[in-house]
Amino acid sequence: MRVKDKIAIVTGGCGGIGAQSARVLAGEGADVILADLDEKKGQQIAQEIGGRFHALDVTDRSAWQALAERVFDDRGRIDILVQCAGIEGDNSRNAFETPPEVWNQVIAVNMTGTFFGCQAVMPFMLQQGAGSVVLLSSIVSFMSTATSIPYGASKAGVQHLAQSFAYLGSRDGKKVRVNSVHPGSIKTRMTDDIIADLAKAAGCTKEEAEAKLLSSIPFGRRGAPQDVAQMILYLVSDEAAYVTGGEFKIDGGWLVRDVIS
């Protein structure tokens, strides 16, 4: 029971990584508030894990504030915030063909929504003097891309947010820890759609695009949501009490494939 009785908010709780993270945290004793736009699925997952569901549009700052205040008033504290909410946008077009509405939507959900979450929840953690925040970035934040610039830029922005909020959380003896996790190709609906978009851009089949992707990953396979959820569990547990401002890659060795030997 590594997070027993801790109060946790998990956004994007209906997605592959968000849902699995909520399950893992609940299984380790946390009181989980699942936040997402999909009320029907969210209620089902919340019931499954013995948690509660809260409808949330992460791009709505006032909705974020209302959630944070409600949880704090009901539970008396907020110990954990895991921000998994995100969208991939359209990865089938190159940078010069990407319409502004795609750029704006991806940035709004992935980066601005994450910023609003930290703004709303961290003051309560600072009031307590402790807490743990995990922001879901991506391995793409370390890469150049031809067709995924809005997604990559948004996730690089999340990486910066983690660094900056980690600093703000550790001043004056406070112990509000903020870390980012950077999944590679994890088997979720989102990455399935990204691979389909890349196949469209390259003029090949989805199977061919996935095979090309896997050939660049030393482990030769895609990861599972559980791989990411276990890292998140470590970061929000007391085992990581001295860990803040970290960037944790979960990519099967994707970034270390190009070496001179």
Contact 120, 11 (CB under 8 A): no
Q: Residue 74: which residues within 8 A CB-CB, separation 6 or more?
A: none
Classify residue 1 by burial, with Cβ atoms within 10 Å: 0-12, 13-18, 19+: exposed
Query: Within 13 Å and on the Cβ side, how many CA atoms surround 4?
Result: 2
At residue 100, what is the residue type? P
Catalytic residue among 151, 167, 234, 242: 151
> Letter for the amino acid at 252?
G
- In 3-state terms, what secondary structure has residue 33? strand
Amino acid code (one letter) for 154: S
Amino acid residing at 235: L
151 is catalytic: yes
CA distance readout (Å), 82 to 13, 127, 216, 258: 9, 19, 29, 32
Q: How far is CA 92 from CA 147, 198, 210, in A?
A: 6, 6, 14
Does an H or E element contain 159, and which?
helix 149-170
Burial degree of 135 (CB within 10 A; 0-12, 13-18, 19+)? buried
Q: What residues are paired with 135 via a beta bridge?
A: 83, 180
Which active-site residues does the annotation give? 151
